[in-house]
């Protein structure tokens, strides 16, 4: 190559466009990557029904996928047919950014009742609710704990009976 061909490719000192264009391109790529990460769907991680434990009789626990553990308890026990019920959730070995419980009737459609739990200290969450009243008396319920762990929505179903 001779020097005459290279004469047209000269960047004079102080030409700021040489600096701003690549920086703008890199900033745009980072913005697109961040937006993509935020808009990616979360993974739903449904765990199996916790067997052999009834929340109307005792506190129940379950292992979490990443080695943590959660424990759920209701008061008073037995759970009354109507009236307020206190909910206590303890999560060990994980730090959920959100925790809630979805209540559903098992043998009778009572709709879905969501309870957002308030975070306390040391992985504890709490709330208070009243379940819809069943005219037949005893009612079998499923309480599904839903916690957000990073990009995963983990759900753990428990069973209990009210009105007993």
Confirm whether pTM is higher than 0.85: no
Q: Give the tens place of pLDDT for each residue, 68-127.
A: 999 999 999 888 877 899 999 999 999 999 999 999 999 888 889 999 999 998 899 999
DSSP 8-state symbol, 15: -
Task: Examine the domain organization and report whether 19 and 96 are in the same domain.
Answer: no
Task: Examine the domain organization and report whether 106 and 57 are in the same domain.
Answer: yes
Domain, as residue range, for 51: 43-162
Contact status, residue 102 vs residue 143, Cβ threshold 8 Å: yes
* Distance (Å, whole) CA 23 – CA 28: 9
CATH number of the domain enclosing 126: 2.60.40.10
Task: Examine the domain organization and report whether 66 and 147 are in the same domain.
Answer: yes
DSSP string for 62-128: EE-TTS-EEEEEEESSSBPSSS-EEEEEEEES---SEEEEEEEESSS---EEEEEPEE-STTEEEEE
């Amino acid at each position: 190559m001779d020097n005459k061909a290279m004469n047209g490719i000269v960047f004079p000192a102080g030409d700021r466009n040489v600096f701003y264009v690549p920086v703008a391109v890199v900033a745009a790529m980072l913005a697109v990557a961040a937006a993509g990460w935020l808009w990616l769907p979360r993974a739903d991680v449904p765990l199996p029904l916790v067997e052999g434990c009834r929340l109307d009789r005792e506190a129940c626990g379950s292992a979490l996928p990443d080695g943590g553990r959660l424990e759920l308890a209701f008061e008073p026990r037995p759970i009354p047919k109507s009236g307020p019920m206190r909910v206590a959730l303890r999560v060990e070995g994980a730090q959920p950014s959100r925790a809630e419980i979805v209540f559903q009737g098992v043998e009778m459609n009572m709709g879905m009742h969501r309870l957002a739990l308030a975070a306390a200290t040391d992985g504890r969450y709490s709330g208070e609710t009243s379940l819809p009243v069943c005219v037949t008396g005893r009612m079998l319920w499923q309480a599904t704990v839903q916690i957000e762990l990073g990009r995963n929505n983990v759900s753990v179903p428990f069973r209990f009976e009210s009105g007993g």
